[in-house]
Amino acid sequence: MGTDDLCWLPATELTALIRAKKLSPVELAEAVLARIERINPKLNAFCTPAPEAARQAAKIAEAAVMHGEPLGLLHGVPVSLKDLIFTRGIVTTGGSRIFGDFVPEEDAVAAERLKAAGAVILGKTNTAEFGHKAVTDNPLFGVTRNPWRLDRTPGGSSGGAAVAVAAGLGPLALATDAGGSIRIPASFCGVYGLKPSFGRIPDAPGFPGWETFSALGPMSRTVRDAALVLDALAGPDDRDPHSLPALNASYLRACDEPVQGWNVAWCPDLGYAVVDPEVAQISEDAAAVFESLGCRVETVATGWDNPEEVFAVMAAAEIHAAWAERLPEWGGRMDPTLVRYLERGRAVTVADYLRAARRRREFWAQVQGFVARFDLLLTPTVAVPPFPAGESRPRKIAGQEVSVLGWMPFTYPFNLTGQPAASVPAGFTADGLPVGLQIVGRRHADRQVLAASAALEAARPWARHRPPPDSC
């Protein structure tokens, strides 16, 4: 097997090869690092590669194999971390000049657990500044590009993570999602992205931000790889008071569970979204596959209110509380869109925030009543295909004017509710750009989302699709 071929193997295969002593963690790390060195300058997926730390971790992993020591779930597997996730000993900037030289003295719980599982940390992937927008560029590291077409955005704010996985720069990436930041780039880059239930993976310590929205989750080329990460990272930690109790069941084994007989709702617009016709058709075709898997698929209208204003008010207020005090000194060196976001947050009163919080609970009541009837909800992940990098987000879809968040109407509702949701590759536009299907589960039903994702992957495998060689 060529060294470049190693870069495309899933983590589940890599761990098996390493345990059988058929693959050296050092050989694997060197193959991925060489590919990062060659490919990353085109894509800007990694903002801070950590090759020496990765080599040292790979040597330690190899020694453990050779000495017959107990091996973790991710032993020797290369993993990248979004630049919002604290990683001891590696510069972690949040995509901001404010923290251009910041090196955390402790790991986030998730980084700590990755290391305990034997993972080899490759470095940090690029993000929007403090993850504040759903595309990936910042004043510190610049624009990240989509490997399917370099002139297009990978989405965000976890765009660097999605690009790394899509381009063979490591099989696994850990990212964050406060309004779609895992699922949007997963859709735009043709990879699998899982936003677990809120609190499933502890989220501390770290940069302040959206305390009631954000979830940590994996990005990968296969569903089982993401499930493997969840097995390694899920479970409570008192450093995060929102963290959920552990389940006495494997997420990886959930991928083998049948979905026959499930009631599945397909909703192309959630009752308020405008969707690009090609995206709508590709997503609908993917949703229809669940009928062949033995599910009862029903096209439905949710009847929900559009929660965009609720999300916008609460998100703006929370990010203002986190970073507004930095404006006098750093405002001129921040992303201008972040500055405008902070200024919007300043205008939110306590009464505004509490009214929005009440409407959030009312929205959950609508959603809960709906999902009680169905095992899964399917929607497009994003309303549009990947658009040009560095340009303004679409304000017109299919000839209709849309709101600021109108191009991403399907993701943030499930940050408000905390439900698990994944983006699975659904197909490609006529221009060869990826499109994702969103699979939403009931509250805390992460295993069901994984089971459905794996069933769709088995019916329509996607990992064999790779970006064109001229970009990666």
Catalytic hit among 24, 80, 82, 124:
82
With 0-12 / 13-18 / 19 or more C-beta atoms within 10 angstroms meaning exposed / middle / buried, residue 274 is buried
Q: Which residue has the tokens 């990755």?
A: 114
Residue 22: active-site member: no
Q: Which residues contact 371 (CB under 8 A, 6 or more apart)?
A: 377, 419, 440, 442, 443
Residue 157: active-site member: yes
Catalytic hit among 24, 96, 157, 158:
157
Backbone φ and ψ for 59, nearest 5 degrees, come out as: -65, -40
Residue 181: active-site member: yes
Query: Both tokens of residue 109?
Result: 């719980």
CA distance linking residue 388 with residue 150, whole number of Å: 9
Dihedral angle of Cα 106, 111, 114, 116, to the nearest 10 degrees: 10
Question: Which residues are catalytically annotated?
Answer: 82, 157, 181
